[in-house]
């Protein structure tokens, strides 16, 4: 691996020489090999991406997307978050995301991580969250206008102007905590402040099955709100009568499946 301090002269490579899928980033024109992620790193990136992408104010997130503010730089944070979708036909983004997340696991090259943080902040990123997978659960927050701050498992993270909702630190580590945040966010995207609002709406409409029917409506609302096709067979199975625990499990599934029929998989 390399950085500007180790190679003060500009290297020979440019971002436009790399293709989508190449395992390299660039720092001052010098290549940095990016190895496959370990299982903790890979799992963490998925959780973080789900939590951030579901926020009601976020319109776009990208995993390992290339950021190239100038020709000799190409950096790919684990998760990049934008309030608006990118535009244009170029392979790499030229504008740095306002929020970027890096998962740092065993074997992390700390010198390269410091350089990556500095380059993204210099390019315009407002916050970089470094999620530490070694040692106590904690997140380092880097900003261009102040010192790095550490947030522990009991803290929450905020990104005003990017995220509407605070993010519990534990949601970037723990799968169940991540799903709770995703559910809250998706309900808000559908116009509900909480699951209780969905249940109340079901009672106000006079549905005989009360809470269970409210959960069914929440499942259907989430699926359709995410743009998933719900056919008559799926709706009939949902309304056939099930216990509350089963419906709650299906509701969580509705927040993350890519096909509506997969909500019934336990």
Please write the tens of the pLDDT for every residue from 33-52: 777 787 788 888 889 999 99
| Residues 63 and 131 grouped into a single domain | yes
The whole-angstrom separation of Cα 149 and Cα 232 is: 51
Task: Indicate whether 110 belongs to any domain.
Answer: yes
- 136 in the same domain as 199: no
Inside any domain, residue 133: yes
Which pLDDT band, with edges at 50, 70 and 90, does 266 fall under?
low
Q: Which two tokens stand for residue 240?
A: 């056939």
What percent of the chain lies above the pLDDT cut of 70?
92
- The whole-number pLDDT of residue 4 equals 45
Residue 8: pLDDT band with limits 50, 70, 90: low
Q: Across residues 59-86, what is the average pLDDT? A: 87
pLDDT of residue 7: 53
Is 202 found in the same domain as 242? yes
| Same-domain status, 153 and 219 | no
Provide the pLDDT confidence category of residue 1 given band limits of 50, 70 and 90.
very low
Residues 6+ apart with CB under 8 A from 171: 47, 51, 177, 178, 180, 181
Residues 215, 154 share a domain: no
Number of domains in the chain: 2
Among 126-135, 196-205, 211-220, the range scoring the smallest mean pLDDT is 196-205
Poorest-confidence range of 10-19, 187-196, 216-225?
10-19
The most confident of the ranges 145-154, 200-209, 215-224 is 145-154
Domain co-membership, 42 together with 157: yes
| 155 and 221 fall within a common domain | no
Of the residues 138, 173, 208, the one at which a domain ends = 173
Q: Is residue 160 part of a domain?
A: yes
Looking at per-residue confidence, does 239 or 166 come out higher?
166
Region 95-114: what's the mean pLDDT?
A: 92
Residue 249 sits in which domain range? 190-264
Q: What's the chain's average pLDDT? A: 85
Regarding whether 159 and 46 lie in a shared domain, the answer is yes
Do both 43 and 165 map to the same domain? yes
């Amino acid at each position: 691996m390399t950085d500007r301090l180790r190679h003060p002269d500009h290297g020979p490579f440019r971002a436009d020489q790399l293709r989508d899928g190449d395992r390299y980033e660039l720092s001052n024109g010098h290549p940095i090999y990016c190895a496959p992620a370990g299982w903790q790193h890979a799992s963490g990136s998925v959780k973080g991406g789900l939590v951030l992408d579901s926020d009601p104010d976020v319109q776009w997130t990208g995993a390992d997307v290339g950021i190239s503010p100038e020709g000799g730089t190409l950096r790919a944070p684990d998760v990049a978050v934008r309030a608006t979708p990118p535009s244009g036909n170029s392979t790499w983004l030229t504008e740095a995301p306002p929020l970027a997340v890096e998962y740092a696991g065993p074997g992390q090259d700390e010198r390269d991580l410091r350089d990556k943080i500095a380059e993204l902040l210099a390019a315009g990123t407002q916050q970089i969250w470094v999620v530490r997978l070694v040692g106590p659960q904690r997140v380092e927050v880097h900003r261009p206008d102040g010192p790095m701050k550490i947030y522990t498992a009991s803290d929450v993270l905020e990104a005003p102007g990017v995220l509407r909702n605070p993010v519990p630190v534990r949601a970037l580590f723990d799968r169940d905590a991540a799903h709770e945040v995703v559910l809250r966010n998706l309900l808000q995207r559908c116009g509900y402040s909480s699951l209780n609002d969905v249940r109340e709406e079901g009672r106000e409409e006079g549905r005989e099955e009360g809470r269970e029917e409210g959960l069914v409506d929440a499942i259907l609302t989430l699926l359709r709100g995410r743009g998933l096709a719900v056919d008559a067979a799926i709706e009939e199975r949902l309304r056939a009568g099930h216990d509350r625990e089963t419906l709650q499990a299906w509701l969580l599934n509705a927040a993350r499946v890519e096909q509506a029929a997969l909500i019934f998989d336990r």
